[in-house]
Amino acid sequence: MSRPAASGRGEQQLLLVVITAGVFAAAADHGVLVRVQRLDDAWLRLMISGRAPPLTAVAKVFNLLGLVYVTLPVRIAIAGLLALRRRWWHLAAFAAAVVVSEVLIGPLKGIYDRARPPASLIATSGASFPSGHSVAASVTVAAAVIALVPAGRRRIRWAVAAAAFSILMGLSRSYLSAHWLSDAAAGILLGTSCALVAALAVDQIQRRWQGTRGGRRRGPAAARSRAAAAPRHRAERHRTEPHGTEGRHRAEGHGAEGKQRSS
165 touches 137 (CB < 8 A):
yes
Q: Which domain holds residue 224?
A: 219-262
Which of 213, 234, 252 is the endpoint of a domain? Answer: 213
Using pLDDT thresholds of 50, 70 and 90, give the confidence band for residue 1.
very low
The DSSP secondary structure of 72-100, one letter per residue, reads HHHHHHHHHHHHHTT-HHHHHHHHHHHHH
Q: Let me know whether 118 and 227 are in one domain.
A: no
Q: Let me know whether 198 and 253 are in one domain.
A: no
What's the chain's average pLDDT?
A: 83
Q: Let me know whether 182 and 106 are in one domain.
A: yes
CA–CA separation, 127 and 129 (whole Å)? 6
109 touches 126 (CB < 8 A):
yes
CA–CA separation, 251 and 255 (whole Å)? 6
The DSSP secondary structure of 52-66, one letter per residue, reads -HHHHHHHHHHHHHT
**pLDDT, tens only, 45-64:** 999 999 999 999 999 999 99
Q: Let me know whether 64 and 114 are in one domain.
A: yes
With respect to residue 40, please indicate whether it lies within any of the assigned structural domains. yes
Q: Let me know whether 227 and 173 are in one domain.
A: no
Using pLDDT thresholds of 50, 70 and 90, give the confidence band for residue 5.
very low
Query: Of residues 187 and 211, which shows the higher confidence score?
Result: 187
Return the percentage of the chain with pLDDT > 90, whole number. Answer: 61
Q: What integer is the mean pLDDT of 251-262?
A: 48
Q: Let me know whether 97 and 21 are in one domain.
A: yes
With respect to residue 20, please indicate whether it lies within any of the assigned structural domains. yes
Q: Let me know whether 228 and 188 are in one domain.
A: no
Q: What is the DSSP letter of 50?
A: T
Q: Let me know whether 54 and 126 are in one domain.
A: yes
Q: What pLDDT was estimated at residue 259?
A: 46
Q: What pLDDT was estimated at residue 247?
A: 47
Q: Let me know whether 232 and 114 are in one domain.
A: no
With respect to residue 244, please indicate whether it lies within any of the assigned structural domains. yes
What's the predicted TM-score (pTM) here?
A: 0.76
Q: Let me know whether 202 and 225 are in one domain.
A: no
Nearby residues of 254 by Cβ (< 8 Å), 6 or more positions away:
none
Count of domains for the chain: 2
**pLDDT, tens only, 21-41:** 888 888 888 788 889 999 999
